[in-house]
Chain A
Amino acid sequence: MNKTQKIESMMEVVRILAGLVIAYAIALAILFAISEDPIYIVQQFILGPFSSPRRIGTVINLAIPFTICGLSMCFMYAVNKFNLVGEGIFMLSACMVTWVSLLLGPGLPSVVMLPIMFIVAILTGIVVSFIPAIMDRKFNANVVVVSLMLNSVIQSLATWILRYQVRDSSISYLGSREIPESIQLPKILGSFRVQSGLIVAIICVIVVAILFYKTAFGWKMRLVGANPRFATAVGLSSISISFIAQLAGGAFAGIAGATEMMCNYTRFQWTVTTQHGFDGLLVAVLAKKNPVLVPIGALFLAYIRIGADVVNTSGDIPTEFVTVIQGIIILLVAAESFLSGTKNKLIFKAAEKEEKEKEAKAA
């Protein structure tokens, strides 16, 4: 690694941290401006998520779907296709797991049921993400628009399944029948009450990290994303690589939805999509498409979300302000001009220094 590359990768970290600090400062400023008891509220926002083992557990629990969705978006983002269908897959996968498990009934043991459920989730993900991916491949249709339209279709489809196939008419609200106990995953780690989905998330991170950095496909994928023309020039089919990457991304979004369903709920009851797909995009952007860093991004996002929840219950602040903060973070991290002056100055200085050293040596 030469000096310029070193400075560039260092500035990348500085930029992300600076972006987070600025966005966090804006969040605090908003809280200060609108709450009646600003000091208490800000204190709650910062420290609230750590105030009890239970809450720390909640942060981790929230980070689990964010991590898996972040991994899913890493695939899409790595090949520069903003396929946002993960949002719909997350909902549909939870719905399909509910439906299939109810059809199979409570007779089968967990050892048989759980693999079936994950296969259902992965298949759902692959089948759904196949639609925008094949349209991108065959017809050169815009992946973003198609995936967003598809999300709306999926939302209606999942609601239809809920209303007409799995609905429990004995409860007062719209919800499915209870899923069999064999697929309700237990809580672990004692008083932290962490979901066993943590294990799924860790396995996923390891698998994706190996896939990205230790296999030929991962290398091809990263090359296609970084420089598609170069990839084509050296004989890679960038179209089919990005196609497969999108299917893989869909599969992980499916796993995320199923895990969330089996860990956190006993009944399927969503009638709108859950924003997890977009949260996954934020996490992938924060992690700079690096699967190893995804859990850190997910934990940060979960931390500010729980902070907002705490503030919402202890004060009169709506949780929606977090989405604004989330948008600002994406913008700051994505903006190439942000701190580019400083970066160029540093590179220039390093080059100047090197030049002087050379001159000194020559003399």
Chain B
Amino acid sequence: MTIDWIAFIAEGIRMATPLVFAALAALICNRAGMFNMGVEGMILCSALGAVIFAHYGGSVWIGLLGGIIIGLATGMFIAFASLTGKADLYLTCIAFNLMATGGTVFVMYLLTGEKSTTSGAFRSYQIPVVDIPIIKDIPVLGRIISGQSLITYIAAAAVFFMWFFLKRTRIGLRIRAVGENPKAAESVGISVNKIGYISFAICGVLAGLSGAFMSMSWVTFFMKNMVNGRGYIGLSAQNMAKGEPVGSALASLLFGFTDALATTLQNQTNFPVEFLEMLPYLATIFAIIITSIIAINKRRRIEQGAAK
């Protein structure tokens, strides 16, 4: 068995892209004090939206825009149900994910007559791959850093924008204030609902980018249930990093590599596929356990310190 390690690392980064966006999307809501499981369904809807817009608009950019618009719209839908409608956020998200799973198949069937994939009926569009001059000629690094999809570079930029946004801007500060203590924030005149809507809007854009990557870069069509838990994995990634953008991105990268490992082993060994398919989800569960133990130990140490 020989594994092309450079290709493996490049693949890991590619697989991590939708997870990074999913993590950032969940992160912004989490910082505003809302546990948004709906990211999963939002990505799924955006993935379909991107394909539809690209097909009817005849351009990959219209598709990308379409993905973002659908992400935004679904974000507003969840925000409306939970903030204005005052429905329990967990229930809202579970209901929304259910609707997204069935609704995407329904819409796909109405438009194409197919129930599993749009690959036959819709023209496929791919977001261009970027070759960075100079870097692409560096032996190992070139194959990893250069030649990724445009969205992958946007993801890397988004991580730093998110860090800057939360730490250095007025609105970022308000979002964090609402997340830490909504009553205190309200008392100094911040509208908690407005901040909630703003967070969901940003979350929607990020989920839209994630969806567009899924259906226009990972593959070039939409298929039923294609997100397959990536939204939840992103959610756990940011949960592990306690809502820190850079940490969340690193955790997403780890899960991306697990995903790439599963695909690589699937192609090169005859290990049962079923166990390889479990890898990303098992990795998530173990990661949750490990980070929780660390957090608990840390708290215990602080408590002991205080007792002395």
Give residues 129-187 of B contacting A (CB, 8 Å).
none
In the complex, whether B110 has a CB less than 8 A from a CB of chain A is yes
Interface residues of A (CB under 8 A from B): 34, 82, 84, 131, 135, 139-142, 144-146, 148-150, 152-153, 156-157, 159-160, 163-164, 278, 281, 285, 318, 320-324, 326-328, 330-331, 334-338, 340
Cross-chain contact of B272 among A164, A285, A328, A336 (Cβ < 8 A): A164
Distance between A291 CB and nearest chain B CB, rounded to angstroms: 19
Distance between B82 CB and nearest chain A CB, rounded to angstroms: 9
Minimum CB distance partner of A321 in chain B: B106
In the complex, whether B59 has a CB less than 8 A from a CB of chain A is no
In the complex, whether B300 has a CB less than 8 A from a CB of chain A is no
Please state if A160 and B292 are interface contacts (CB–CB under 8 Å): no
Please state if B95 and A331 are interface contacts (CB–CB under 8 Å): yes
In the complex, whether B90 has a CB less than 8 A from a CB of chain A is yes
Please state if B275 and A156 are interface contacts (CB–CB under 8 Å): yes
Residues from chain B with Cβ under 8 Å of A278 in the complex: 94, 98
Give residues 189-218 of B contacting A (CB, 8 Å).
none
Please state if A149 and B87 are interface contacts (CB–CB under 8 Å): no
State the majority secondary structure of interface residues on A.
helix
CA distance A145 to B230 in the complex (A): 11
Residues from chain A with Cβ under 8 Å of B239 in the complex: 142, 145
Given contacts A139-B293, A149-B229, contact A84 B86 (CB under 8 A): no
Please state if B278 and A139 are interface contacts (CB–CB under 8 Å): no
Cross-chain contact of A149 among B86, B96, B103, B285 (Cβ < 8 A): B285
CA distance A189 to B92 in the complex (A): 39
Residues from chain B with Cβ under 8 Å of A336 in the complex: 85-87
CA distance A156 to B276 in the complex (A): 9
Distance between A92 CB and nearest chain B CB, rounded to angstroms: 13
Please state if A141 and B289 are interface contacts (CB–CB under 8 Å): yes
Minimum CB distance partner of B77 in chain A: A331
CA distance A338 to B92 in the complex (A): 14
Cross-chain contact of B37 among A144, A150, A322 (Cβ < 8 A): A144
Interface residues of B (CB under 8 A from A): 35, 37, 81, 84-88, 90-92, 94-96, 98-99, 101-103, 105-106, 109-110, 115, 228-229, 232-233, 235-236, 239, 272, 274-275, 277-278, 281-282, 284-285, 288-289, 292-293, 296
Please state if B91 and A156 are interface contacts (CB–CB under 8 Å): no
Residues from chain B with Cβ under 8 Å of A330 in the complex: 91, 94-95, 98
Residues from chain A with Cβ under 8 Å of B281 in the complex: 149-150, 152-153
Residues from chain A with Cβ under 8 Å of B81 in the complex: 331, 335
Residues from chain B with Cβ under 8 Å of A145 in the complex: 37, 232, 235-236, 239, 284, 288
Residues from chain A with Cβ under 8 Å of B284 in the complex: 145, 149
Minimum CB distance partner of B290 in chain A: A139
Most buried by A among B81, B86, B95, B101: B95
CA distance A153 to B99 in the complex (A): 23
Please state if A82 and B289 are interface contacts (CB–CB under 8 Å): no
Residues from chain B with Cβ under 8 Å of A146 in the complex: 285, 288
The 10 A-B residue pairs whose C-beta atoms are closest, nearest first, are A323-B102, A327-B99, A139-B292, A335-B85, A160-B274, A330-B95, A334-B87, A336-B86, A335-B87, A320-B102
Distance between A149 CB and nearest chain B CB, rounded to angstroms: 4
CA distance A150 to B228 in the complex (A): 13
Please state if A139 and B288 are interface contacts (CB–CB under 8 Å): yes
Distance between B256 CB and nearest chain A CB, rounded to angstroms: 16
Please state if A140 and B275 are interface contacts (CB–CB under 8 Å): no
Residues from chain B with Cβ under 8 Å of A281 in the complex: 94
**Other 8 A-B pairs with CB < 8 A, given A157-B278, A321-B106, A327-B102:** A142-B239, A144-B94, A145-B37, A145-B239, A160-B272, A164-B272, A323-B106, A330-B91
Residues from chain B with Cβ under 8 Å of A337 in the complex: 84-86
Please state if B105 and A320 are interface contacts (CB–CB under 8 Å): yes
Please state if A323 and B275 are interface contacts (CB–CB under 8 Å): no
CA distance A153 to B286 in the complex (A): 12
CA distance A285 to B232 in the complex (A): 23
Given contacts A145-B239, A159-B274, A318-B106, contact A338 B95 (CB under 8 A): no
